[in-house]
Structure 1
Amino acid sequence: MKISFLILNAYGMGGTIRATFDLAGAMSERHDVEIISVFQHADRPFLPLAPRVRLRSLVDLREGAKVRWPFARKAARLSAQESTLIHPEERAYASFNAWSDTVLVRELRRLRSDVLITTRAGLNLMAARFAHKRVVTIAQEHLHFEAHQPGIFEEIRTWYPKLDAVVTLTEADEHDYRNMLDGAPTRVFTIGNGLPGGPRPRSRQENRIVLAAGRLVPVKGYDRLLKAFVRVAEERPDWKLRIYGEGRVGEKLVRLSVKLRLHNNVTFMGSTGDIQGELAKASIHAVSSRFEGFGMTIIEAFASGVPVISFDCPRGPREIITSGVNGLLVPADDVDALAEGLIRMIDDEEGRRRMAESALLAARNYDISMIAERWEKSFAELGR
């Protein structure tokens, strides 16, 4: 079976890229698998990719990149025009233009894979509109249902019934998509993200480090984590917070850290290609998101024996974390509760170690081989 994944930009870092690479790698053991990146801004991917998985891009954004003749003039002209096929409320709308519209439509119309898996609303809608009818089209939703804007919902109601299936990361999202698509032939499945096999470094629960990881964007709520950590720094000054990732509010967060006088307790670590190794150096993983589609770093932390404290935000954390067993859930948006939870985990070393053992057990449920089998089962059901 030939399987194609369509992703916005495979050359950056982020949970969707990591999850796609891991799933593609697992599937490549039994299938012909490729990843199609709409955009390419670097010579090679930031994250590791299995050698059996082919990677190609549609729009090369690297300096000096040239569009092959005879499309150069057309590309230059259309690149200066706004996209008319991607909805303006798509979160990555600014990345698209009329040239990427043209290239995407051409690619989708000529693609003859057995299965096409698209990975965000804008690409899901494009596949519904333009993919060849013989291709099984599956939209994978990495954002939670309520994260979409009204205009995107209207597009989803119009075009998702043309898809063969929608795969959500949580059961709550599956319920909402089933209701929205009631009466449509589109199937809806819940399949979470998975963890690649192999040995991983494990936390010894000895380092006085709290780790947070993800894009430095408003939805991740690092402003709230910094405010919560003020109390931690005051009461447990020997504990440190390390924040991994890059993003558009990075400088703003650094300024907030200085304003809160956290310069001795908080370090912005930048990007890392070895999040498992960095997690193993920590004793607690903190998730301060305003909402999560799934929470990839939660299961990565579990796999390294690191319990997780998280806001009980919509929607992923509550389906992964069993509060008091492998981590803590605190009321959404309650910064004081987050601070209190951190201090409780810091002070209860014995309890934290029990949580770490439970986290390791929970991580087994997300082994990538099991996740790949669930995808293959969905392929078989769609092929009937």
Structure 2
Amino acid sequence: MKLLYITNGINGAGGLERVLSIKASYLVEHYSYDVTILCLNNNDKDPFYSFSDRIKMLSITVGGNPIKYIKQYKNGIERIVRELNPDVISVCDDGLKGFFIPKIIGKNIPVIYERHVSKEIEMNESFSSLKKKLVQTKWKVMEQLASSFSKFVVLTKGNTLEWQSLTNMLVIANPLSFYPEKSSTLQNKKVIAVGKQGFQKGYDRLLAAWQIVNRSHPDWRLEIYGTIAPEYKLEELSKSLRISDSVCFYPPEKDIQSKYLEGSIYVMSSRFEGFGMVLIEAMACGVPCVSFDCNYGPADIIQNEVDGYVVANGNIDSFALRINDLIANKDQRIKMGQKARLNVQRFSPEIIVKQWDMLFKQLVK
């Protein structure tokens, strides 16, 4: 099976890049797929995550004004598809341009779209009415174009609510990045969060909750790993909340597994998500999670009050209360961590990538 992935790049530290490295490598190593990943502007160089050596990496150059960019994008994809003649194409591009690929390719090759984010990533509550209207119009265009894919794959049942008119939709969750032999001892006085700084991740909400936690448990620390964006002024916020002595911000960590294993609680304060890879990674390390019930992912992953807590989105007091509960009750923390490690096995690559293999084979019959 010759499979072509089309994406913007694989050198970032995001969830899309992480998932692609796992799926593509597994298909090559365990199913003997012939996999090529096509990126833009040499963003296949120096990938943050590890990819199988058997995967071919290609790049096309795009740039200039919008007309020139679109022409180069179209011509580049047409050329690569002609040269490779893949059996299936899978598009991993959350921007608008990716939705046009079936029209570029034609109808001879099955084309799948993998949606890795919520539509809400396009929207911000601070936008003007006009800008919100433009975003909503873009959503309608995306939904119309989405119907031209052979399959439109989303990550959770919740995600299907954003694409209700589609009849070509399929739910396939993200696979686990790792499943270590040992679990966290849950003894270290550390709470962990992972993800790039920005509006989506809601670290302003996390710091507000941590201020409450810190009053009761000043000996515990909050460690946040992810691309640092000074414009969000999170360090200044932690100082103004008088919690800077117990909060540390770190850049992306390649060996993030070791950080989960050092933590005792994982927290996700996102305003919205496409899935929440960080949740299943933490759970694989036996770490119980506390997450806002954002759209979409946490409610599909965490079994509330069994292997973690899902809190009403934006309820800072409840978020802090659940963190305090896990800090104060070591036995409950350990019990939930054990359940989390057991329950998350349903996201193993053996289970998830098998679903992709079945889909690809179904489309080329």
TM-score, with normalisation over the residues of structure 2?
0.89
CA distance in 1 between counterparts of 2:230 and 2:157 reads 31
Larger mean CA deviation between 168-177 and 373-382 belongs to: 168-177
Residue-by-residue CA offset, 1:173-206 (whole Å, 9 max, x unaligned): 23543x3125xxxx21100000146645521111
CA distance in 1 between counterparts of 2:363 and 2:45 reads 36
Match of 2:160 among 167, 174, 180: 174
1:230 equivalent to 2:201? Answer no
CA distance in 2 between counterparts of 1:305 and 1:227 reads 26
Shift of 1:124: 3.1
Matches within 5 A, 1:38-53: 38-40=40-42, 43-53=45-55
Shift of 1:255: 1.4
CA distance in 2 between counterparts of 1:247 and 1:139 reads 30
Matches within 5 A, 1:1-384: 1-29=1-29, 30=31, 31-40=33-42, 43-59=45-61, 79-81=63-65, 83-84=66-67, 98-99=68-69, 101-110=70-79, 111=81, 112-119=85-92, 120-147=94-121, 149-177=135-163, 179-182=164-167, 187-196=168-177, 199-248=180-229, 252-384=233-365
Q: What letter is aligned with 2:166?
A: L
Contact 1:118/1:138 (CA < 8 Å) preserved in 2? Answer: yes
Aligned length: 346
CA distance in 1 between counterparts of 2:231 and 2:344 reads 30
Shift of 1:43: 4.4
Larger mean CA deviation between 37-46 and 137-146 belongs to: 37-46
Residue-by-residue CA offset, 1:27-83 (whole Å, 9 max, x unaligned): 112201122222435841122222222222223xxxxxxxxxxxxxxx7xxx342x2
Aligned-partner SS, 1:40? coil
Query: What stretches of structure 2 of length at least 5 have no aligned partner?
Result: 123-134
CA distance in 2 between counterparts of 1:201 and 1:107 reads 46
The percent identity for this pair of structures is: 29
CA distance in 2 between counterparts of 1:376 and 1:107 reads 27
Contact 2:19/2:177 (CA < 8 Å) preserved in 1? Answer: no
CA distance in 2 between counterparts of 1:339 and 1:241 reads 12
Aligned-partner SS, 1:323? coil
Shift of 1:328: 0.4
Shift of 1:292: 1.1
Query: What stretches of structure 1 of length at least 5 have no aligned partner?
Result: 60-74, 85-97
Aligned-partner SS, 2:51? coil
CA distance in 2 between counterparts of 1:250 and 1:297 reads 24
Shift of 1:381: 2.8
CA distance in 2 between counterparts of 1:42 and 1:382 reads 27
Contact 2:10/2:44 (CA < 8 Å) preserved in 1? Answer: no
Shift of 1:264: 0.9
RMSD: 1.9
CA distance in 2 between counterparts of 1:34 and 1:202 reads 35
Aligned-partner SS, 1:218? coil
CA pair 236-298 structure 1, distance change in 2 beyond 3 A: same
